[in-house]
Chains A and B, each alone.
Chain A
Amino acid sequence: MSLSAIKLCSLVTGALLLTALASAGSDSPPGIPAPESGEELSGGDTTVFDTSPKAFGFPARNVREEHRAAFFVGHSFFNENWVAAPASTAGRDGLGPLFNARSCSACHFKDGRSRPPEPAQPMVTMLMRISIPGLGPHKEPMPDPVYGGQIQGQAILGVPPEADVYVTYEEVTARFADGEEFSLRTPVYSIRNLGYGPLAKDVMLSPRVAPAMIGMGLLEAVPEKSLRSLADQQKRDGAGISGRINLVWDGTAGRTVPGRFGWKAEQPSVLQQTAGAFVGDMGITSSLRAEENHTARQVICAEQPTGGRPEVSDKILHAVATYSRTLGVPARRNWTDPTVLRGKAIFALANCTACHVPKLQTGDWPEFPELSNQTIRPYTDLLLHDLGEGLADNRPVFEASGRDWRTPPLWGIGLVSKVNAHTFFLHDGRARNLSEAILWHGGEAESAREMFRTIPKSDRNALIAFLESL
Chain B
Amino acid sequence: MGGSLERERWPPAFRTRDSRNPGELPVGAVRGTRPKRVDANGRPLYWNGDMNMKTKRLRLCIGAGASGTIRRPLRRWLVVLVGIVVGGLFPFQNAHGSDPTTDTELLKLKRAVVANYAAVTSASYQDSLAAANTLRTAVDKFLAEPSERCLRGAREAWVAARVPYSQTEVCRFYDGPIDQAEGMINAWPIDENYIDYVADNSQAGVINAASKFPVLSRELILSLNEKEGKKNISTGFHAIEFLLWGQDLSATGPGNRSWRDYAEGSTNADRRRAYLRIITELLVEHLETVAAAWNDGNKGNYRSDFIGLDPDAALANILKGMGALSGPELAGERLTVPYETKEQEDEQSCFSDNTRSDLIYDAVGIENVYRGRYLAREGRKVEGPGIHDLLLRVDPAFAGTLAAQIEKSVACARSIPQPFDQAILGTSPSPGREAVKKAATALQAQSELIAQAAKVLSIKLNL
Contacts and interface: CB of A to CB of B under 8 A. Distances in A.
Contacts of A337: 13
Interface string B331-352: 1110011001101111000000
Given A9-B80, A17-B33, A88-B192, A79 B230 contact: yes
A81 interface: yes
A24 interface: yes
Contacts of B31: 17, 20-21, 24
A2 B228 CA distance: 80
Nearest to A55: B462
Contacts of B90: 16, 19, 23
A50 B462 contact: yes
B198 interface: yes
A86 interface: yes
Interface in A79-97: 79-81, 83-84, 86-92
A86 B84 CA distance: 77
A48 B80 contact: no
Interface residues of B, number: 62
Contacts of B13: 25-26, 334-337
B400 interface: no
Given A23-B90, A88-B199, A102-B228, A12 B83 contact: yes
A157 B30 CA distance: 74
Interface residues of A, number: 63
- Output the residue of A37, A50, A102 with the most chain B CB within 10 A: A102
A157 B198 CA distance: 14
Interface stretch (A67-75, A130-138, A164-172, A444-452): A67-75
B30 A17 contact: yes
A333 B11 contact: yes
B36 to A, nearest CB: 13
Given A16-B83, A103-B229, A52 B175 contact: yes
Nearest to A335: B13
Contact of B230 (A2, A48, A73, A81): A81
Nearest to B20: A25
Nearest to A26: B13
Contact of B345 (A26, A69, A89, A335): A89
Contacts of B198: 87-88
A101 B229 contact: yes
Given A73-B341, A83-B193, A8 B230 contact: no
Contacts of B232: 81, 102
Contact of A58 (B87, B193, B462): B462
Given A13-B46, A80-B231, A83-B193, A5 B76 contact: yes
Interface stretch (B21-29, B142-150, B270-278): B21-29
B284 to A, nearest CB: 27
Contacts of B83: 9, 12-13, 16
A83 B344 CA distance: 15
Contacts of A72: 328, 331-333, 336-337, 340
B182 interface: no
B346 to A, nearest CB: 7
Contacts of B332: 68, 71-72, 75
Contact of A106 (B230, B333, B344): B230
Nearest to A20: B29
Contacts of B444: 68
A202 to B, nearest CB: 32
A421 to B, nearest CB: 13
Nearest to A49: B462
Contact of B79 (A9, A17, A124): A9
Given A5-B80, A88-B344, A106 B228 contact: yes
A88 B28 CA distance: 72
B234 to A, nearest CB: 13
B168 to A, nearest CB: 20
Interface of A: 1-2, 5, 8-9, 12-13, 15-17, 19-21, 23-26, 34, 37-38, 40, 48-53, 58, 68-69, 71-73, 75-76, 79-81, 83-84, 86-92, 101-103, 105-106, 124, 157, 315-316, 319, 331, 333-337
Which 5 A-B pairs rank lowest in CB-CB distance, beginning with the nearest?
Answer: A12-B83, A72-B332, A106-B229, A89-B345, A20-B29
6 contacts: A16-B87, A40-B14, A68-B336, A75-B328, A79-B230, A102-B228
